[in-house]
Structures are given as structure tokens and as C-alpha cells.
Amino acid sequence: MEALFKYGARIVVLPECSNHQYAMRSQEEAREYAEELDGPSVTHWQKLASMYGGYVAGGIIEHEGNDLYNTAVLVGPNGRIGHYRKVHLFDWEIDYLRPGNVGFQTFRIEELDIKVGMLVCYDLRFPEAVRSIALAGCDILLVPTTWTSIGKSVLWDERGYCLANYLAVAHTYSNRMAIACADRAGQEQGVQYMGASMIVDSMSRVVAGPASKCEADYLLADVDILLSRDKRVGSRNDLLKDRCPQHYKLIG
Amino acid sequence: MEALFKYGARIVVLPECSNHQYAMRSQEEAREYAEELDGPSVTHWQKLASMYGGYVAGGIIEHEGNDLYNTAVLVGPNGRIGHYRKVHLFDWEIDYLRPGNVGFQTFRIEELDIKVGMLVCYDLRFPEAVRSIALAGCDILLVPTTWTSIGKSVLWDERGYCLANYLAVAHTYSNRMAIACADRAGQEQGVQYMGASMIVDSMSRVVAGPASKCEADYLLADVDILLSRDKRVGSRNDLLKDRCPQHYKLIG
């Protein structure tokens, strides 16, 4: 993370559960790794953010009272800006964690004049979640993730794209907002983590990635985030204004 | 179309406005090409469907009374099965056509024991539309389309994929349903049509395509459509049951 800040990164995105293993075999095990929102991981990120004048979005298992959440936390030079608790829980998380209860929000980074949204991993497979973030005014979606091989018929294509990479591109194309996905790589308990982190700008250009399939890796890219504000397509259309909610009754 | 039936196709998908130019410069011009649901195009498709025992999903400009719609029609050996009128209108269509008023439905093909949904072109950019079709029970989404260069920063990538191809793959990945997109190719009035028709199965495997970028082309593939019925991911998750509509209030 320090290297990225030294290279000039303003926002660093870390994976889901970034400071420890992903898979947990019991609630007790998950509890061992869990931290509060002002715990050591977030405190460390705040220190680095302050030192380099940057921002960090990273994943932790959060405990609040007796409850555990899969949480993405956004911090800046002046402290914690916001957090998002994963709504759509995956695999072992269903047993040991509570579903998110803070909704789909955006968080303003005043200094950069942008609004940031966060989702975690399996959330990306729910177009409703991504669309909700876009409707809330998101300019760039930051995604701490652990994409897994579970249930996949295709792991990577010949370009090193995993299926979630297609989601990332498609979400930018439907919502005209940038997306930065930071994934875990390697194996754990027979599950392959997909790597292939990716940054896509709001015009659906893959500006960095996919990162390594198998090893820890990083991406660095300049993204013109403010392009996300203009949802127009050609001279007559607008991706958000053209929505027809009267026909979307089945969704809600 | 006859060649495809002779090759063994059971369902043939044709582009949007398949029997004439796409772009219209006036309502009068659109009206010249428009047909009723039992007009000559649909009658011709029915004749071929009957002759070969197959099914056709194709696009027409439909007129009903004084109103024009951008309509996809599904016909089989025994006549017309259903139609869908494009909800999200694009470019010139806004001026000359009415938005769809028959919602997002699925249509049962008894003989093949499947449920078919239809969307048209720009509809695909609205994840709400695709999700609605999935929730209505769709096994395969048939998409007559005219993907255009309008508003695009990327036309095709190095594999001949246009951005809509990413949408197609991503929609199968979020909804576990197959999709067959039949696109127009070539140029009209300075607008490039993207070609790159594609068939993706419900496990997100690109089973055919992208077709030619520039010339009329066809695709033929076997798709195990019934795989779409199983929405499970691994042993604990289900793409439709895991939805959390209480958090999707912004969508509706």
C-alpha cells in the first residue's frame, strides 16, 4: 500500500477480508479475525492515509457488539469516511455473519470532489445492488473482493478474464460509472481465488488489469472519474433518465 | 433462415427491424415499413416455422391502429406465440415510436418445454429489464438487436467483442439464463452497426460468436437451455433466492 501511495495513488483498494484468510470454518474462527471499525486494521490504514494524503477502501470482518459483518471501510487523511456492510452473503458467511444493514450508500470525498460507493464480492452479481449505488450518485465503485472458483464452469478465458471481469465491464456500460475491483489470489482449502483484479473507467475502457490470476499483484491507473457524471448516450438518450420504473415491479 | 432450419436449428433469432433499414428520418418513413402483427413478415416466418417445425423470434416495426412500436415477435409451427414491445427506446425511436406496453413476459414453447423471453437492443443496458425477465421464469433470452456505434468509446476489442457482448456474458452470469443476440452489421447514415452476434449459455460459456463485425453472418449452436432452471451457486447460494429486495427501493 505504501508503494502505491509513493507511486502517486490517491485511492488504494484492498481485497475483502484483506488482513487475513477468507474462508472461516466456525463463527469462533471468524470472531478471532474480526475487528471493530476503529480496530487495528482501520487504524493502520488511517495512519497511512494520513501520512500520504490518500484514501483506502479495504475489507474487514467487523464486529459490533456480538454481531459480525463483512464490511468495506473507507478512510482518508482525516479519518474514517464511511463503511458498507455486505448485503448478499456467500457460502460460509451465511452461517457466521449478519447481512448488511446500512444499505447502498455513496460517500463524498470532498478533496477529490467525487462520490464513492462500495460493494463486496458476491454483491456484484446482483445488478440491483450496482444500480442502487449508481442511482445514489456514485462516480466510482470500489470493490474489495474474493472471487472464488465455487460454482464456476469457466475460471479464466484466454485473456485471463474471469467471469467477474465481464460483470465489471458490463456494470460500467449499464451505469456509466468507473469500477475498481481488488481481488484475492491463490488457493485456500481447495478453493481457487481468481485474482484478475481490474479497473474499468466509466466509458467501459479496461484501464488496468486483469492482474495476475495466481499471485499477489497490484494495479495502478489514472481514471477520469468525473466522466461518470454524464449519463448521456448519443444526443437523445440517458442511461438513468431512460429507466422505466413502472415496468420494474418484479424487482422490488 | 431456411438454411439454418435445414442445418437443424430449432429457434432462429433475427435482428431488430429485421426486414428493412434500421434508422428512420420521420414517422412517415417508419410507418412505411411498419406491419401489423399478422403482416407479411410475421406471416412469412410462420410459414417457414411451420414448414421446418421450428421457431422464429424477429424484430419488426409494428403498427397497431395509429401507434408504432419496436416489436419482437415469436412464432412457431402453429402460429404466433407472443410479442414484446421495446420499453427503452433509442435515438430516433423516441420521436416516432411508442414505448412498449406489454411488460417483460416469458412465453412458453410447449414442444421444447422451455420459457423464452425477448428484449430488444437498448433494453439490454437496463439490468432491471433483464432481471425482470429472469424473475418471470425465462430459460433463454432472445434478443433481436441493432447495436450501434453511437456514444461508444470502444467499438470492438481485439477479440471482436463489442461492449454489448460483455453485457450478454454478464447477464448470463447474474441470472443463470442463456442468451442469444442477433445483431445487424454494416453502416447506415454514418452509424456503424456492430455485428458481433453472440450466443452464451446459462453457465456463461460463449457457445457461438462473436459473429462478423462488418458483414451479414449467422451463428448456430446447441444450448442446454434447461440448465437455466438451476440458480444455485456452490452448495449454499442461489442467484434469485439470495436477492434482498428490501434494499432495492431506489430501483422501483
Each residue of B2-27: pLDDT tens digit? 999 999 999 999 999 999 999 999 99
pLDDT-derived band at B91 (thresholds 50, 70, 90) equals very high
Multiple choice CATH, B2-229, 1.10.240.10, 1.10.3720.10, 3.30.70.20, 3.60.110.10: 3.60.110.10
DSSP label at residue B118:
E
What is the pLDDT, as a whole number, of residue B32?
98
Whole-angstrom Cα distance, residue B106 to residue B141?
9
CB A55 within 8 A of CB A17: no
The H or E element containing residue B181 is strand B178-183
A2-228 in CATH: which number? 3.60.110.10
> Is pLDDT at A198 greater than 90 in this prediction?
yes
Q: Which amino acid is at B188?
A: E
Classify residue A206 by burial, with Cβ atoms within 10 Å: 0-12, 13-18, 19+.
buried
pLDDT-derived band at A154 (thresholds 50, 70, 90) equals confident
For CA atoms B215, B218, B221, B224, give the dihedral sign.
Answer: positive
The nearest alpha carbon in chain B to A88 belongs to B242
- Our CA-based measurement puts residue B13 at a distance from the nearest CA of chain A, in whole angstroms, of 23
What's the mean per-residue pLDDT of chain B? 97
Mean pLDDT on B211-231:
96
**pLDDT tens profile B142-159:** 999 999 999 998 899 999
Q: Which amino acid is at A114?
A: I
Kindly determine whether residue A88 and residue B127, on different chains, have CB atoms separated by under 8 Å: no
How far CA B165 is from CA of A3, A167, B48, in Å, comes to: 36, 11, 29
**pLDDT tens profile B104-133:** 999 999 999 999 999 999 999 999 999 999
Over the range A129-158, which residues count as b (16 or more CB within 10 Å of their CB) and which as e? bbbbbbbebbbbbbbbbbbbebbbeeebbe
Whole-angstrom Cα distance, residue B235 to residue B227?
16
Question: How many CB atoms sit inside 10 A of residue B161's CB?
Answer: 23
Kindly determine whether residue A237 and residue B122, on different chains, have CB atoms separated by under 8 Å: yes
Residues of B in contact with A204 (CB under 8 A): 153-154, 163, 166
The H or E element containing residue A27 is helix A27-33
Candidates B172, B144, B182, B181; CA nearest to B228 is B172
- In this prediction the ipTM stands at 0.97
- Which of A94, A153, A173 is nearest residue B166 as measured by Cβ atoms? A173
**pLDDT tens profile A41-67:** 999 999 999 999 999 999 999 999 999
What's the mean per-residue pLDDT of chain A? 97
Residues of B in contact with A122 (CB under 8 A): 237, 242
- Which of B129, B151, B250 is nearest residue A234 as measured by Cβ atoms? B151
Any idea of the CA torsion for A208, A232, B142, B201, to the nearest 10 degrees? 10
Whole-angstrom Cα distance, residue B130 to residue A171?
13
Mean pLDDT on A104-129:
98
* Residue located via cell numbers 432491471: B128
> Is pLDDT at B53 greater than 90 in this prediction?
yes
Contacts of B117 (CB under 8 A, 6+ apart): B84, B104, B105, B106, B107, B133, B134, B136, B138, B140, B141, B142, B177
Mean pLDDT on A8-34:
97
> Is pLDDT at B208 greater than 90 in this prediction?
yes
